[in-house]
Amino acid sequence: MKFSIITVCKDSEKTLENTIISVINQTYKNFEYIVIDGLSTDDSLNIVEKYRDKISQVVSEPDDGLYDAMNKGINLATGDYLFFLNSDDQFLHNDVLKLVAGCHCDATSRNNSNIDAELLYGDIAVLNKKTGKLSIQKHNKLNKIYLLKNTPCQPGTFYKKDAFNKYGCFDTNYKIVSDHEWFLRVFLKHNIRAKYLGFPVNIFSIGGISTSKNREEKLITERNDMLDKYFTKFERVSYEFISKNCRSLTTMPVFSDFLNLIFKFKL
């Protein structure tokens, strides 16, 4: 089983080296490492060059935003599963790829089938840069109510390469929510096969940069456009109500089945 680890970066000199080190120190060695740089003007490319013998491919050129750069990585990747490691994140420890490969092999053996999960998704350890606090964010209960506002965390997800061939890459018309749109597309339109890993995969950093008013407005616009593509008005209103007032009932077998008869939120 071969992994393709993809890091998209631009002017990431403060964090990029730790990201690279967390990749090359993995004990499981059947992986390629691809760095997609958006023409950095700081010391990022010098840092990449420092570890160039450990990096399979480096691309440094203009792009049309984050998801365009991620799509470039997808097109270059030759691994069985792809993983996007942000330039200010890092793997939680050196055995992450080993554990993921082991879970995949165990599941395939138990199923006695060549049909593998198209997504392997885990939890993430969230590091708040402002407070220094580290917390585990779990993503183990998927249904339409959850997907209305959340998805398996993109920085904690391993994508089978073939999934992008079958379902398409990230939609670059969305500059902020394209990863969310991709998950809605594959879960709600294509019933993708997914496996929950059950352990945290990486350290995901938040709180480093304040969000501008313009970005917040664009996020709202993109999100509403995206949700209108995949949910009816009735679904949006009803799922919002359930999420706010009785979400815990969706995890209880009897109540969950009753609610699902009316609102059909199960995948």
pLDDT band of 267, cuts 50, 70, 90: confident
Per cent of the chain over pLDDT 90 is 72
Q: What is the tens place of the pLDDT at every residue in 158-208?
A: 999 999 999 999 999 999 999 999 999 999 999 999 999 999 999 988 765
Task: Identify the burial level of 133 via C-beta atoms within 10 angstroms of its C-beta, where 0-12 means exposed, 13-18 middle and 19 or more buried.
Answer: exposed
pLDDT band of 83, cuts 50, 70, 90: very high
**Domain boundaries along the sequence of the chain:** 3-231
Arithmetic mean of pLDDT over the chain? 91
Angstrom distances, CA of residue 220 to CA of 118, 177, 180, 223, 244: 30, 10, 13, 5, 19
> Quick check: 104 pLDDT over 90?
no
Q: What is the tens place of the pLDDT at every residue in 110-148?
A: 554 445 899 999 999 998 888 888 899 887 778 999 999
CATH number of 3-231: 3.90.550.10
What pLDDT is recorded for position 205? Answer: 84
> Quick check: 209 pLDDT over 60?
no
What pLDDT is recorded for position 96? Answer: 97
> Quick check: 210 pLDDT over 50?
no
> Quick check: 102 pLDDT over 50?
yes
**d(C-alpha 168, C-alpha 71), whole Å:** 10
Q: Name the residue with higher pLDDT: 154 or 27.
A: 27
